Structure 1
Amino acid sequence: MPEVKKIATRESYGNALVELGKKHDDVVVLDADLAGATKTGTFKKAFPERHIDCGIAEADMMGIAAGIATTGKVPFASTFAMFAAGRAFEQVRNSIGYPHLNVKIGATHAGISVGEDGATHQCLEDIALMRMIPGMTVVVPSDDIEAKAAVEAAYEHKGPVYLRFGRLAVPVINDRPDYKFELGKGVLLREGSDVTIVATGLEVGSALEAADRLAQDGVSAEVINIHTIKPLDEEIILKSAAKTGRVVTAEEAFIAGGLGGAVAELLSAKLPTKLARIGVDDQFGESGPAVELLHKYKLDGEGVYEQVKAFLG
């Protein structure tokens, strides 16, 4: 079998910013002394006059980004998810969300796949936190192609956007001529009749692998990629839930308040359906190799397969 191309979505973020900068001179990129890790260093090299290193002061960076947005520029404030959604939450809420400013937040190193950096840096609550801010668009790309498309779409969208990227290199799964990215629109990747797997981020790849394994057991799994957590594509989820009667969500985040929470809210209000949520359940992560952590917390293809099988009984 040919080797599957893998790339970390944080790399995609840095590359996409450079391409965006070539096309739009109103793009400004900020980072908090992490240009190498967030890959914004590529933009800094190409457009040094439009890059601002704010130092290790993430809250200040969000305030600066807010100020820049009021001048008509389009700032991309970049740092680890733990600092963007955690340390700077108040500034994101009050300085960006409340006045609904056109700031894009590039949050890298999200989820448990940060690996050896451990629990303090493995931000699992960011989807829930950002989802709660009125008017905030929340996007979790599944691969390199989707990440680049998401950055472009975020620029075109008027209003605050939270973009969640990972450290771990993940398979490219959207390399096909008919791929189309649209904010707020889910993507049906695989049709099925027995169960719906609604996944986001790197869990999309895990869901597809799980679906292959389930097929060997005679189980037909429908797989939906929800790259935009907010606004949620209710139509695609409800249509699939009505067909299969059973739904599983999969995310590299806490199941409380994230994609699983959003889907649970939707189904309970509009189409009560048996639901299982795959993610991290009320516990912190730990230090270790990313791939081993994904396996331990049952977020890899095997883990998703096992949990879906258990759910189906």
Structure 2
Amino acid sequence: MQELTKRNLRAWSMLGQRGTVCGVALIEIMEEYQNSYTLTADLAHLSGLDRVQHMFPERFVNVGIAEQNMIGIAAGLAAEGNVVFATTYATFLTMRCYEQIRHHMGYQHMNIKLIGSAAGVEMGMSGNTHYTYEDIAIMRAIPNITVVSPADPAEAYQIMHQAAATEGPMYIRLTGGMNQQIITKCEDGGIQIGKSKELQSGTDVAVIFAGNIAGTVQKAVELLESEGISTSVIDMHTIKPLDTRQLERQMGKKIIVTVEEHSIIGGLGGAVSEYYAQFERHPKVVRIGVEDQFLHPAGKELLLETAGLTPQKIYKRIRKELNR
């Protein structure tokens, strides 16, 4: 596993989450773990898996457009003591294969790591068949499955190595394209699955996010801070299991705001709301994300604008809630 150097962070930023996972982390994992396999459903080249396929032909399987079969094959390999990574677009990986994931990964607790790429609205003009804003909700509903959504390529890299070393099923949700902003710092010392990262602390508002939306959140928070609104910013890269200790520490805030490139139903916002609902008194939870609707096909930036996921719209929503 490579160190968090400035050079690596720059390289991973250019590659994006998918490029870093498939073009860097998986190669290292396949070299270290001789019992590891990589499976894909017709996305070898598009996912950046060409080097994996070339270097490890006996442990690489491209099943074609047969995602359900891919999970079945993964289960068979995992049953023989192997660690299996299976990847394709998040929408097809989670929804088309839901029954197989539920039985093989949840119920049978197979050691399969799912890598869902292009989650959220990354696919732009490809339309709703390729958007994925329900995956966190349905995946975290299955018992025993860990659900993670890294904020940047450096987090994705670390999560992959931790996933390889951890027994049990996991869903790794990759968001954003190439040339991503890196929020990870060389001196951070790394992240840990299940433990959130507080980027800054404040006293009035807590903004909790997941996925590649950190830059947008930070710009919105700068607007709040310019008006004297003290704001905590929390990177909740692990949605299941949720870092409830972090949520406990935010109980004194005026409002809790969740931001995600996902439906406001069942995702990070749902998970945070469920946690606070057990208390008689708690801060109001404001969920910012895709409302209960299908978005009209458009470019990614317009889709994010429609969903209220821009710095200005996040800022205005928080100001509105504070003034209620």
User: TM-score with structure 2 length normalisation?
Assistant: 0.91
Distance in 1 (CA, whole Å) between partners of 2:186 and 2:282 is 34
* Displacement of 1:132: 0.4
In percent, how many aligned pairs have the same letter? 37
* Displacement of 1:215: 1.0
Q: Does the CA-based 8 Å contact 1:114-1:167 persist in structure 2?
A: no
Deviations 1:218-271 (A, max 9, x none): 1111000000000000011120232x2310001100111110000001011135
SS in 1 for 2:251: helix
Which AA in structure 1 matches 2:286?
A
* Displacement of 1:37: 2.3
Q: Does the CA-based 8 Å contact 1:140-1:201 persist in structure 2?
A: yes
Q: For structure 1, list consecutive stretches of 5 or more residues without a partner in the other structure.
A: none
Distance in 1 (CA, whole Å) between partners of 2:295 and 2:208 is 23
User: TM-score with structure 1 length normalisation?
Assistant: 0.95
- 1:45 corresponds to which residue? 54
Q: 1:11 aligns with which of 19, 28, 32?
A: 19
Distance in 1 (CA, whole Å) between partners of 2:311 and 2:182 is 15
SS in 2 for 1:288: coil
Which AA in structure 2 matches 1:279?
G
Aligned length: 309
* Displacement of 1:60: 0.4
* Displacement of 1:204: 2.5
Distance in 1 (CA, whole Å) between partners of 2:21 and 2:168 is 19
Which AA in structure 2 matches 1:157?
T
Distance in 1 (CA, whole Å) between partners of 2:152 and 2:74 is 26
- 2:228 corresponds to which residue? 218
SS in 1 for 2:54: helix
SS in 2 for 1:62: helix
Distance in 2 (CA, whole Å) between partners of 1:41 and 1:226 is 31
Deviations 1:46-81 (A, max 9, x none): 222211001110000001001100111111011111
Which AA in structure 2 matches 1:49?
E
- 1:160 corresponds to which residue? 169
Q: 2:277 aligns with which of 245, 268, 285?
A: 268
Distance in 2 (CA, whole Å) between partners of 1:16 and 1:197 is 30
SS in 2 for 1:180: coil
SS in 2 for 1:36: coil
Instruction: Return 177-186 or 219-228, whichever deviates more.
Output: 177-186
Q: 1:207 aligns with which of 214, 217, 230?
A: 217
Q: 2:293 aligns with which of 283, 287, 299?
A: 283
Q: For structure 2, list consecutive stretches of 5 or more residues without a partner in the other structure.
A: 1-9
Change (3 A) 1:304 1:249: same
* Displacement of 1:40: 2.6
Change (3 A) 1:140 1:250: same
Q: Does the CA-based 8 Å contact 2:176-2:212 persist in structure 1?
A: no
SS in 1 for 2:75: helix
Q: Does 2:198 align with 1:188?
A: yes
* Displacement of 1:300: 2.6
Q: How do 1:112-123 and structure 2 match up within 5 A?
A: 112-123=121-132
Which AA in structure 2 matches 1:39?
G
* Displacement of 1:296: 2.7
Deviations 1:189-239 (A, max 9, x none): 011111000100012332222111211121111000000000000011120
- 1:135 corresponds to which residue? 144
Distance in 2 (CA, whole Å) between partners of 1:33 and 1:263 is 35
Change (3 A) 1:174 1:298: same
For the aligned residues, what is the CA RMSD? 1.5
* Displacement of 1:285: 2.3
Distance in 2 (CA, whole Å) between partners of 1:6 and 1:241 is 38
* Displacement of 1:7: 4.2
- 1:257 corresponds to which residue? 266
Q: Does the CA-based 8 Å contact 2:105-2:145 persist in structure 1?
A: no
Q: Does the CA-based 8 Å contact 2:269-2:287 persist in structure 1?
A: yes
Q: Does the CA-based 8 Å contact 1:250-1:260 persist in structure 2?
A: yes
Instruction: Return 176-185 or 61-70, whichever deviates more.
Output: 176-185
Q: 1:22 aligns with which of 11, 21, 31?
A: 31
Extract structure 1 runs of 4+ deviating beyond 6 A. Answer: none
SS in 2 for 1:110: coil
Which AA in structure 1 matches 2:204?
D
